[in-house]
Structure 1
């Protein structure tokens, strides 16, 4: 803060004037934004996150004190530029949790957090859907808005944990996930958005089976160059060796133009990743109809060259960076 507090002196026509810093353009935009505190124990402005969102103007900061918050949190498209953040910076301290399957509530209704707003940031929280049976989708996070950032978050689910979805057709949303943790078993990172998962731990759950599931299910529209990028990350599991696929080809609704794109690069892959069958067919569509590849991975699950593991060249990789995935037409670059 300036030594004069929230004002600065100026001599105008021989008169000492005191002007607010806002008049001089010196205030921090974050400090000028509305800040709302949520605390389940009643020590904040609201006891529920949803009540805080309902009251928040665009651009508000919603600080969430430690606790467990049950029930769906919905950020509508009419509430852009909101930040949700745990107050301690430790994601396990703030848990947003639900137990709703899509079989009873639909895909969006099952999501513990339904975020349809653009320019939002979520950090320092856990988002969980504890419905852990294989008979239904049960989303932790439905990310349906453009230019969303998730930092230091934990996303916990079983089937379809994290959906990045921009609607049908070529419309595409962009999301950036950084230094986070994502857990699931079946298609648990999926959708048609331009999604970058950077410096994140991705854990496949052990289904005690020779088929321990699929990490991704991309439905990228054929007109969009970029889909899901996993980079600088760690893929791990306690599941049996070579029992988890990197992904499968999801033609959402049977759409012929859903030509999924996934690249796993510069990451450490555990022994649970398949060699043969790392990429799988889905719904009668061959994985070869999609755009699946890897680059510069290490670890015991990295390609040995004996399975169907397409690799790209360094020249191609230069055009498949985090920045390229997220730039769009406006040059958005949240990459850390």
Structure 2
């Protein structure tokens, strides 16, 4: 099995050329707090700044983060609304927020953290925003052969109306866990010009999420299959799951060794009929003629998995790769996924 070593992982944290960015983030007119690892700000840790932020905010409360690597688990409580973490470097690689635990890593009491507990960053507060920074889980698989459950989440989202703008998400298995507070509860997230990398089920969960003009990179595990990009668990009552629009799906893995996804049914929930739609996106040769996979006893053909007008060497049209009809495509635009009863998509994305 060929997964990234710890040295390769830490080198990736500073790889400014991982994806092409349009330039440094625009200066924000007001920063409420500044975090600086070297001590020149209001706080030296991300969690301390979050703890100091007001609860129940109804307007953005902006925490500027100066360049550096900030280690330690970060949790945004449900009461901390309208928080924004804004990287103050020239590129997302300049600010790294990371931890290093996995599902099977043991807590001080001797019990495992579990997948949700492994998250480097957990977002429970609505209207959160992150800009121009990196979230990572640095769990070193090679250094821990004794740990069988290696799911290691970089970011777990549970809240509604989240925005990630020019953010990198780095891990191996289960990188980005897009969730909600309970089955049947809709929570929306919008990712614009972001970079997400991993290998197994690395974009997964029941949230409604849009990845707009993002790069989605599958790591080469040296196995076949090499991995799965998505593992949606969208509730049957939710018409909108994961949408990839105008993205680039890339990999260094051999041709036709990676799947676009497989349907996840947590606790064998029959109502978790996952949805992944990939449209107008460039797909590399790592995706083959059969792009979707069963998940245990749950067949992919019974989930809501489809493509529309993709291109690139891996954008094949075969009987095993369902395509949206023109009418279906007309109702699966970005605004359809994010709008909701509050017209949030119109406000946050301009769509």
Same fold (TM over 0.5): yes
Partner SS, residue 183 of structure 2: coil
Q: Tell me the residue number matched to 1:11.
A: none
Q: Tell me the residue number matched to 1:268.
A: 282
Q: Say which of 243, 246, 268 aligns to 2:260.
A: 246
Residue by residue, what CA displacement relative to the aligned partner does 1:252-291 show, whole Å, maximum 9, x if unpaired? Answer: 1100000001100000000001212x11111311111210
Q: 1:39: how far off?
A: 0.2
Partner SS, residue 117 of structure 2: helix
Q: CA RMSD in A?
A: 1.4
- Equivalent-residue separation in structure 1 for 2:152 and 2:35 (angstroms): 26
- Name whichever structure is richer in strand by fraction: 1
Q: 1:170: how far off?
A: 1.0
Q: Say which of 296, 316, 330 aligns to 1:318.
A: 330
Q: Tell me the residue number matched to 1:62.
A: 63
Residue by residue, what CA displacement relative to the aligned partner does 1:49-78 show, whole Å, maximum 9, x if unpaired? Answer: 100000012331100000000011111111
Q: Tell me the residue number matched to 2:120.
A: 112
Partner SS, residue 316 of structure 2: coil
| More displaced stretch, 109-118 vs 177-186 | 109-118
Higher relative contact order (CA 8 A, sep 6+): 2
Residues 37-186 of structure 1 correspond to what in structure 2 (within 5 A)? 37-57=34-54, 58=57, 59-103=60-104, 104-133=112-141, 135-186=149-200
Partner SS, residue 249 of structure 2: strand
Residue by residue, what CA displacement relative to the aligned partner does 1:115-152 show, whole Å, maximum 9, x if unpaired? Answer: 11100100111111122537321100001110000010
- Equivalent-residue separation in structure 2 for 1:197 and 1:132 (angstroms): 27
| More displaced stretch, 146-155 vs 311-320 | 311-320
Q: Tell me the residue number matched to 2:315.
A: 302
- Equivalent-residue separation in structure 2 for 1:147 and 1:174 (angstroms): 5
Partner SS, residue 174 of structure 2: coil
Q: Tell me the residue number matched to 2:13.
A: none
Asked if the contact 2:135–2:155 (Cα under 8 Å) also holds between the matched residues in 1, the reply is yes
- The question of 1:234 aligning with 2:242 is answered no
- Equivalent-residue separation in structure 1 for 2:271 and 2:240 (angstroms): 14
Partner SS, residue 70 of structure 2: strand
- Equivalent-residue separation in structure 1 for 2:124 and 2:136 (angstroms): 18
Partner SS, residue 52 of structure 1: helix
- Equivalent-residue separation in structure 2 for 1:218 and 1:89 (angstroms): 33
Asked if the contact 2:31–2:64 (Cα under 8 Å) also holds between the matched residues in 1, the reply is no
Partner SS, residue 34 of structure 2: strand
- Equivalent-residue separation in structure 2 for 1:238 and 1:160 (angstroms): 19
Q: Tell me the residue number matched to 2:292.
A: 279
Asked if the contact 1:132–1:158 (Cα under 8 Å) also holds between the matched residues in 2, the reply is no
- Equivalent-residue separation in structure 1 for 2:336 and 2:43 (angstroms): 40
Q: Tell me the residue number matched to 1:4.
A: none
Asked if the contact 2:34–2:64 (Cα under 8 Å) also holds between the matched residues in 1, the reply is yes
Task: In structure 1, list runs of 5 or more residues that go unmatched.
Answer: 1-29
Task: In structure 2, list runs of 5 or more residues that go unmatched.
Answer: 1-27, 105-111, 142-147
Partner SS, residue 287 of structure 2: coil
Q: Say which of 204, 212, 215 aligns to 1:198.
A: 212
